[in-house]
Amino acid sequence: MADNQILLGGSGNQQVLLDTSMANRHGLITGATGTGKTVTLQLLAESFSRLGVPVFTADVKGDLSGLAGAGQAHPKIDQRLQFIALEGHGFEPSPTAFWDVFGTQGHPVRTTVSEMGPILLSNLLELNETQAGVMQVAFSVADDDGLLLLDLKDLRAMLNWVADNARELERDYGRVARASVSAILRRLLVLEQAGGERLFGEPAIRMEHLMQTDFSGRGVISILDATTLYHSPRVYASFLLWLLSELMEELPERGDADRPCLVFFFDEAHLLFDSAPKALLQRITQVVRLIRSKGVAVFFITQYPNDVPDEIIGQLGNRIQHALRAYTPRDRKALKAAAETFRPNPAFDATEAIANLGVGEALISTLDAKGIPTVVERTLMAPPRSQFGPIDDARRQELIARSPLNGTYAETVDRESAYEMLHKREHELAQRQQQAAEQTAPGKTGVQRRLSRRQSVGEALAKSIARSIGSSIGRQIIRGILGSISGRR
């Protein structure tokens, strides 16, 4: 086996391999529950890690923490090893880093509102089109004014400010209805109650911390605990999508290489596609296509291949299909569709095979060195070297405490941002309004007084916007495909 190959398993007469130079043509792992998807993910993750490739994966059930423990010998494992003719198999843990939005199962992971951008945030908050438009305005004003949107407090202040000054902003940014702002604020409240405020703030996660190798040159496997996050499916999916787009925006272009620079596993991927409007889907498709040239390999994991839209399926070159059941007509349809995506093997019928695969067995087709899909093989998957099922909590805490990343993200930092600056601005405005009122000649009529007051408010606003430009960010913000900040470095 060459050092740019990963052993996936055996098909009886041959070993089934994944060519790592084709890993960035992405992949799909599918199958009914309990058929072996997570264990396959585990096998791939630790194999990439051994080749020095860092891995990121969300852990929806908590069982992927097993990557940090060594597996155990078992007669059934020995049978597998013999069947696959796998030599030199030993049980060992992989280097891991644990992350957790809630900060208990791993290092806290945060992003800033500004970095996430209006598109993903609107998706996360499940806003309708009008509300998403208002969100765009709030971001544009903040970006143009150099106001930092770090946490939800900032966003709230910004939205209120936009509503309060809707009249002055209308000419440049379009109409903003107070009702839309109120609706967004209500959605923010729901997000906060679900613990979402922990997701936003500083220090935000730095992509290089997801791309580390350990002292022995192995890729570190970053495991995002999603056991709680997953209860808010939109937040879960939007956050992972943000991570993907962030990687795409930040990583440099990279020519063909022997192996990817990062492998990203997107578990429960159907959550991403279930409710995504068409426009968002197009952008996701674009991100998936473009991230390839940055050397990132993305594997989607879900039950049925038809959970994934066609445009994206077409970009997933490496396929691992575990068993599907065929109880209902819908099942049978999905099963047939799954079988038809493979390059047929004359030795067996793919539809029938998928229905009859055992646990830890799969139909596999990968891309060969020329990028051509291999004939589908019925494969007994190799056992991972790490442990099945989660590690215990004490061990996890020990690993977190020992991690070099421990401390980097522990404390939130609340620096001056939109919330504070808008407060200041409002304070200044109020002062100026008062001055203007005092200066108004006593002989003026009520109408005249009101008019001049309004003018002075408008002027003051224009000036205060001009003053704050560049004061906190310093230059124009450019937003990428998914509305996250792009091209910073």
Interacting residues with ligand ATP (CB under 6 A): 31, 33-39, 61, 80, 359-360, 381, 383, 388
Coil, helix or strand at residue 163:
helix
- Name the residue among 436, 480, 425 with its Cα closest to residue 248: 480
Min. distance of Cβ 98 from ligand ATP in angstroms?
A: 19
The one of ligand ATP, Mg ion, none whose footprint includes residue 34, by CB under 5 to 8 A per kind, is ligand ATP
Q: Which is nearer to Mg ion, 38 or 417 (CB)?
A: 38
User: Using alpha carbons only, what angle is made at residue 95 by residues 267 and 205, rounded to the nearest 5 degrees?
Assistant: 60
CB of 325 to ligand ATP, least distance (A): 12
CA gap 424, 468 in Å, rounded: 11
Q: How big is the chain by its Cα radius of gyration, in Å?
A: 26
Contact 248, 293 (CB under 8 A): no
CB of 37 to Mg ion, least distance (A): 5
Structure tokens at 305: 């291949």
- E strand residue ranges, 86-245: 96-100, 107-108, 221-225
Q: In 10 A of CB 351, how many CB atoms?
A: 18
Nearer to Mg ion, 38 or 140 (CB): 38
From ligand ATP, Mg ion, none, interface partner of 199 (C-beta below 5 to 8 A by class): none
> In angstroms, what is the minimal distance from the CB of 264 to ligand ATP?
18
| Encoded tokens for 271 | 């959550």
Query: Quick one: 14 or 471, whose CB is closer to ligand ATP?
Result: 14
Choose between 119 and 362: whose C-beta lies nearer to ligand ATP.
362
In whole angstroms, what separates CA 104 from the centre of its chain?
20
Closest-by-Cβ residue to ligand ATP is 360
The residue among 34 and 458 lying less far from ligand ATP, judged by its C-beta, is 34
Min dist. Cβ of residue 358 to ligand ATP (A): 9
What is the amino acid identity at position 161? W
Partner from Mg ion, ligand ATP, none binding residue 35, C-beta < 5-8 Å depending on class: ligand ATP
- Tokens read off for 274: 């279930």
Q: Which is nearer to Mg ion, 114 or 303 (CB)?
A: 303
Binding partner of residue 31 among Mg ion, ligand ATP, none, CB under 5 to 8 Å per kind?
ligand ATP
Of these partners, ligand ATP, Mg ion, none, which one is at the site of residue 359 (CB under 5 to 8 Å by kind)?
ligand ATP
CB of 90 to Mg ion, least distance (A): 24
Which residues are CB-contacts of 290 (< 8 A; sequence separation ≥ 6)? 248, 481
Q: Which is nearer to ligand ATP, 344 or 389 (CB)?
A: 389
Cis? peptide before 203, omega within 30° of 0: yes
169 Cβ neighbours under 8 A, 6+ residues apart: 137, 141, 162, 176
Q: Which CB atom, from 81 or from 337, has the smaller least distance to ligand ATP?
A: 81
Query: Smaller CB distance to ligand ATP: residue 11 or 24?
Result: 11
Q: Choose the contact partner of 478 out of Mg ion, ligand ATP, none; CB within 5 to 8 A by kind.
A: none
Binding site for Mg ion (CB under 5 A): 38
CB of 130 to ligand ATP, least distance (A): 38
216 contact choice in ligand ATP, Mg ion, none (CB below 5 to 8 Å, kind-dependent): none
Q: How far is the CB of 234 from ligand ATP (least distance, A)?
A: 21
CB of 303 to ligand ATP, least distance (A): 7
| Main-chain phi, psi angles of 488, to 5 degrees | -80, -35
What is d(CA 419, CA 155) in angstroms, rounded to the nearest whole number?
A: 8
- Encode 160-180: b = buried (16+ Cβ within 10 Å), e = exposed: bbbbebbeebeeebeebeeeb
Burial class (CB in 10 A: 0-12, 13-18, 19+), 434: exposed
> Considering CB distances under 5 to 8 angstroms, the limit depending on partner class, which of Mg ion, ligand ATP, none binds residue 383?
ligand ATP
Residue 381 site contact among Mg ion, ligand ATP, none (CB < 5 to 8 Å, cut-off depends on kind)? ligand ATP
